[in-house]
């Protein structure tokens, strides 16, 4: 490994499973000290153990990204323990689904607390911590924030908000050498998508809509996040990078 993140301190939310876990592992492989957070301690411990067994440095902190005090406190405490914060990945999300006409206001709001509020709280905190030395913030959106998705109006609105919020944050952070970018996945094989990929027919139906003919893997998203976190992306800010097998590039795909 080239150790592209040697000496860096990174914080990854939702780091116990899926894209967050893959990102934490990838960062550690590249030399970063990685702090991951999530609502459940057990998955965090498993990821930390895997990183440490491979010779990396990591710790897991139980914190609910949908709770401002918990999330901000976790990031600030990590920066104090390690002397700085170089990279923040706002990956945690929560969503509800269902027809718009039957959606309650509570269900609507549930899409925003973790995904949008958490991204705001994390970005605001990181920008304060990175003000002296610069840094990289990567926020996770979704293809649902780019293309309209039936039955997921709240989630779609929340993920769209993350993209434009990140552009504004990038404009504000640029003078302090703080880069803010977005990664935009489509269907990735994680615990969150297990239901829609549960049987062969469902999986094939999903894959037919993807030009590359398959769903993404968490490690493929982690590689894109790593690039944006690294100095190799030193002149990239305010970007929204699709990592979706070409799904967002096509209007329709022949079945």
Residues belonging to the active site: 155
In order of 10, 121, 144, 146, 197, the CA distances from 78 in angstroms are 9, 15, 32, 33, 36
Tokens 């269900």 belong to 107
Q: Are strands 33-38 and 135-140 parallel, antiparallel or unpaired?
A: unpaired
Helix axes of 118-130 and 68-82: crossing angle, nearest 10 degrees: 30
Taking residue 26's Cβ as centre, other Cβ atoms within 10 Å add up to: 23
Handedness of CA 182, 188, 191, 194 (dihedral sign): positive
């Amino acid at each position: 490994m080239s150790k592209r993140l040697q000496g860096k301190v990174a914080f990854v939310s939702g780091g116990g499973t899926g894209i967050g876990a893959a990102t934490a592992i990838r960062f550690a492989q590249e030399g970063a000290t990685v702090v991951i957070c999530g609502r459940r301690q057990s998955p965090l411990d498993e990821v930390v153990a895997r990183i440490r067994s491979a010779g990396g440095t990591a710790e897991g902190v139980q914190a609910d990204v949908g709770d401002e005090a918990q999330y901000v406190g976790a990031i600030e405490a990590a920066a104090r323990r390690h002397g700085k914060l170089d990279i923040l990945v706002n990956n945690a999300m929560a969503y509800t689904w269902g027809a718009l006409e039957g959606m309650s206001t509570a269900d609507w709001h549930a899409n925003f607390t973790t995904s949008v509020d958490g991204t705001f709280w994390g970005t605001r905190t990181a920008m304060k911590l990175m003000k002296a030395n610069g840094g990289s913030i990567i926020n996770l959106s979704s293809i649902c924030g780019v293309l309209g998705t039936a039955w997921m109006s709240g989630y779609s609105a929340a993920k769209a908000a993350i993209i434009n919020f990140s552009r504004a944050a990038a404009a504000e952070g640029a003078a302090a050498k703080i880069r803010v970018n977005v990664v935009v996945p489509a269907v990735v094989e994680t615990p969150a998508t297990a239901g829609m990929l549960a049987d062969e027919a469902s999986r094939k139906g999903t894959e037919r809509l993807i030009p590359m003919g398959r769903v993404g893997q968490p490690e493929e998203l982690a590689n894109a996040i790593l690039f944006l976190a690294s100095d190799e992306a030193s002149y990239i800010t305010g970007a929204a990078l699709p990592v979706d097998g070409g799904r967002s590039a096509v209007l329709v795909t022949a079945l």
